[in-house]
Amino acid sequence: MAKAKTPTRRFTTDKTDVSENSIRRELDWAGDRSVVEKGSATDKKNYAESLSRALSQRFADALRKSFDGILPNPDGLGQESKARTGKGLKKLDVNYSTVELGLGLGVSIKTINFRDAKTKRYTKNYTRVDNELRAEAADYHERQPYSVLCAVIFVPLDACDDGGSAPSSFGQAIQTFRYRAGREKPVDDTTLFERILIGLYDAEPASFGVTGFFDVMDAPPRTGRPSSLMTFEQAISTIVEAYDARNKSAFKWAEGDTEILAAPERQEDDEEI
């Protein structure tokens, strides 16, 4: 007899009083970090997947004002929804698709949460994540070159503190993922994302979950922490701006709503009688 499949837990926002610039609620929902850190590779994989689902909901909810119908929906349905690629249907963490646009905007969420036991750094999984991003970008852009893809890679804030003769884990993240970002035109390299942000979150108890964002196209310190980071609201604005830059016919109202305008029909001048 086949074993029943365990249903996927859905993360939905609640009224918990958590700062806009904190992902503490999402971290708590994913599991007990201190326990998982001492656990197996499977424990850490499950934690990362749960955290990614919670963060996908967070980003979809924040983007919903500009992208009506974005998935997952407010009830947590539509996690890892599918979009058409050159190799069939594939899953997206955050998916804004319409009949008119096809895939308009996709956001990929990645998390690297624990130091490698041997190196004591966060860099072990950078190549794996970069390969995943390359495959995602190529598959979606090959079929839908006008689609805008953004990625947000979450790493603990102390990734900035392990530098020495080599760049910090954070500095190396920028070195690695910068070459996966910067796609400006639909004819550009399909393996690139339009924008990639690094989300640095504090894992220390006193400020657990406080998060800031850094664009991989900006210059990072070789070691140590950046002098400034984007807020969550600014990170969302960066994603919206990337979409608007691709869709030149996007018209934005003062209230923040964005709509796509059809090109105006050219009218022939009336003939004189």
How do residues 216-229 score in pLDDT, each as one tens digit?
999 999 999 999 99
Pairing of strands 195-201, 211-215: antiparallel
Percent of the chain residues past pLDDT 90, beyond the cut: 73
Q: What is the pLDDT of residue 111?
A: 97
Nearest to 9 by CA among 54, 45, 55: 54
Give mean pLDDT, residues 45-71: 95
Q: Greater confidence, 210 or 89?
A: 210
Rounded CA separation 230/228 (Å): 7
Rounded CA separation 182/234 (Å): 18
Q: Which amino acid is at 156?
A: P
Rounded CA separation 273/271 (Å): 6
Q: Does the structure show a pLDDT above 70 at 8?
A: no
Confirm if 98 and 108 have CB atoms less than 8 A apart.
Answer: no
Contacts of 100 (CB under 8 A, 6+ apart): 260
Q: What is the pLDDT of residues 77-116, one digit of tens each?
A: 888 787 777 777 788 999 999 888 899 999 999 999 999 9
Q: What is the pLDDT of residue 163?
A: 84
Strands across the sheet containing 148-156? 94-98, 102-111, 148-156, 195-201, 211-215
Rounded CA separation 96/105 (Å): 5
Q: What is the pLDDT of residues 107-157, one digit of tens each?
A: 999 999 999 999 999 999 999 999 999 999 999 999 999 999 999 999 999
- The DSSP secondary-structure symbol of 263 reads P
Query: Rounded to whole angstroms, what are the CA distances from 128 to 42, 82, 110, 123, 159?
Result: 16, 22, 11, 10, 18
Confirm if 142 and 170 have CB atoms less than 8 A apart.
Answer: no
Q: What is the pLDDT of residue 18?
A: 59
Q: What is the pLDDT of residue 268?
A: 52
